[in-house]
Structure 1
Amino acid sequence: MRIVFAGTPPFAAAALNALADAGHDIVLVLTQPDRPAGRGMKLAASVVKQAALARGLPVAQPANLKPPHSLDELRAAHADIMVVAAYGLILPQAVLDLPRFGCLNIHASLLPRWRGAAPIQRAILAGDTETGITIMQMDAGLDTGAMLMKTVVPILETDTATSLHDTLAAAGASAIVEALAHYPALVPQPQDDAQATYAAKLGKEEARLDWRQPADLLARAVRAYNPAPGAWTLLDGEPLKIWAAHAGTDPLRASAGGNAYVPGEVLRAGADQLVVACGSGTLALQVVQPAGGKRMSAAAFLAGRPLPPGIRLGA
């Protein structure tokens, strides 16, 4: 089959490379326009564009797909099918209707759970024990199309958004190759909208830790927001990012005045330990990053900045 591929980040590049390695005829690659990146803010090509050019594949980078002229290259491609993975642009109905067999999407969740922009992070935040890849026949809705294939992937207690992304990228690459090997014999299964959940886009403010929450939830937040936007709190009015932490069940002992420790209070800050009281349980910070500094172990941080007993984070 003649394939048009649409994608932008590393998750999509894994699928593009797998399709090319499997010998598929990729007649056009769509990816987002080059964006400023790095300290110099120079224009940088997407990972998908880099992968496509390295293989000598034709690339198009429309800013959007709504103007009629933006469809000219797609029409000229005479594609049998279009494969979409984290493209970042909405496909209007005119695009969905162009390929002979329509458009397939590689989605990083077990639909209908976690439709939307951030399924990997939302699955970790929710404490899900498994996620996966769904190969979906796209329609005009937001991840609402009929499902063709699912691949289950366990979520490990140590998984960050980075590690789970990499696992799912590999799973997605394998799944789309398998799906195309059996397409169009695959039987579409409609989604149950009543079971749907929405994976909203992440924001920096939501990554601020609320120490009134249980420790296990905060530990999941640290993993889910790694690498972006990065879980953070305040220390003496300055942001402190937290890149690794684990929950504990240390009892919150009574303080000298007879009052319970308050959420955000540092319970231990020494002997390589930086332990913070939460709404329930405690959070031991392992890797942190002070404002203007680099990532470092809690021990290295405390060596350069001892914390007095009772100091509170988040205030």
Structure 2
Amino acid sequence: MTQSLSIVFAGTPDFAAFHLSAVLASQHTVSAVYTQPDRPAGRGKKLHASAVKQVALAHELPVHQPLNFKSQEDRDALAALKPDVLVVVAYGLILPQAVLDIPKYGCLNVHASILPRWRGAAPIQRAVEAGDALSGVTIMQMERGLDTGPMLNKVFCDITEQETGGSLHDKLQALGAPALIDTLDQLSDGQLAPETQDDSQANYAHKIEKDDLNINWQQPAEVVARTIRAFSPFPVCFSQLGDKRIKLYQATMVEAATPGNAGEILSFDKTGVMVACGVGAVKLHNLQIPGKKPMTADQLLNGYKELFAPGQVFRQA
């Protein structure tokens, strides 16, 4: 019979909060939660608690928010909890070896890719951007290297032709939570069989920078469409149209009846704004004008037909 493990959970965003909720609903016990310090957010820049902190407080769990684990005091506080396992999901801090050594069974990480592909900060978005056909979640034993530890469990899903970073996030979230519980159960029963990663197959999912979001229309339509989908609905790609910076939420590669210069609007109707690329064309379906909410092409036709008139040219901001 599977025994309950004493778990300390470390995570920050919605993806992590979903996994925390799953652990709380399992037979295992969460004794405390670690999350990033509250950050300013919104127009008023008021301090905002992370999604993980909100779940923890709703369950009346102790919450710890160290800036890092450099101080002995913070490491001693974790050790005092005597965890069997530290479960780490999108925490946002690099844990030193002194922390990794504290839990009885070490630290488990839920990583949103099929390792060793897409180690690093943005595996979901980079998989869509690269045109991968397959993604998934890997539960691994943490060690000093970045996402290099032995793999304990892997679950898979397809990446569709219309996948966005947001839709893949939701798929992997739904896959990862039960995989985590299954891994904890196997750990409790002593049934885990760690698999060493093949470092020769590894690549790195770089942190998303502003330049990644600034669309280069000289690229092929396939690349432009994937890039827009990869970073939707957050942090969102953009492009300059006249004096306005337009945010781009959804795009598909299409056949253009007539060629145009890269960035040139070829047509605009209720199905989308067709824009020429270095090779081929894309159709933009969801866009956001400064000061407005995101709108479909059908909605934009009502008041912004001239802004997106054929012949206008998108350019890098």
User: Shorter-chain TM-score category?
Assistant: over 0.9
The 2-side partners of 1:91 and 1:55 are apart by 25
Over 3 Å counting, the alpha-carbon distance change for 1:97 and 1:142 in structure 2 is same
Of 58, 63, 80, the residue aligned with 2:62 is 58
Note if contact 2:162-2:252 (Cα within 8 Å) is conserved in structure 1. no
Deviation sequence 1:186-206 (CA, Å, 0-9, x none): 111111111001000111221
SS of aligned partner of 2:200: helix
Note if contact 2:117-2:203 (Cα within 8 Å) is conserved in structure 1. yes
Residue 246 of structure 1, CA deviation: 1.2
User: 2:158 matched to which residue of 1?
Assistant: 154
Equivalences for 1:217-228 in 2 at 5 Å? 217-228=223-234
Equivalences for 1:123-138 in 2 at 5 Å? 123-138=127-142
Deviation sequence 1:214-261 (CA, Å, 0-9, x none): 1121111111111222111110132111111211022544xxxxxxx2
Structure 1 residues not aligned, in runs of 5+: 254-260
The list of structure 1 runs, each at least 4 consecutive aligned residues, that deviate by more than 4 angstroms after superposition, is: 270-273
1:165 aligns with 2:169: yes
The 1-side partners of 2:33 and 2:66 are apart by 11
Q: Percent identity?
A: 49
Residue 303 of structure 1, CA deviation: 3.3
TM-score, normalised via structure 2 length? 0.93
TM-score, normalised via structure 1 length? 0.94
User: 1:15 matched to which residue of 2?
Assistant: 19
1:207 aligns with 2:206: no
User: 1:294 matched to which residue of 2?
Assistant: 293
User: 2:96 matched to which residue of 1?
Assistant: 92
Equivalences for 1:101-116 in 2 at 5 Å? 101-116=105-120
Letter in 1 for 2:87: V
Equivalences for 1:124-273 in 2 at 5 Å? 124-183=128-187, 184-253=190-259, 261-270=260-269, 273=272
User: 2:311 matched to which residue of 1?
Assistant: 310
Residue 273 of structure 1, CA deviation: 4.2
Note if contact 2:128-2:230 (Cα within 8 Å) is conserved in structure 1. yes
How many aligned positions are there?
308
The 2-side partners of 1:240 and 1:252 are apart by 24
1:280 aligns with 2:279: yes
The 2-side partners of 1:310 and 1:58 are apart by 59
The 1-side partners of 2:309 and 2:234 are apart by 30
Moved more, 270-279 or 155-164: 270-279
The 2-side partners of 1:142 and 1:224 are apart by 23
Of 39, 44, 53, the residue aligned with 1:40 is 44
CA RMSD of aligned residues (A): 1.4
Structure 2 residues not aligned, in runs of 5+: none
Over 3 Å counting, the alpha-carbon distance change for 1:227 and 1:65 in structure 2 is same
Moved more, 28-37 or 90-99: 28-37
Residue 64 of structure 1, CA deviation: 0.7
Residue 271 of structure 1, CA deviation: 5.8
Letter in 1 for 2:128: I
Moved more, 92-101 or 203-212: 203-212
Moved more, 152-161 or 139-148: 152-161
SS of aligned partner of 1:75: helix
Letter in 2 for 1:235: L
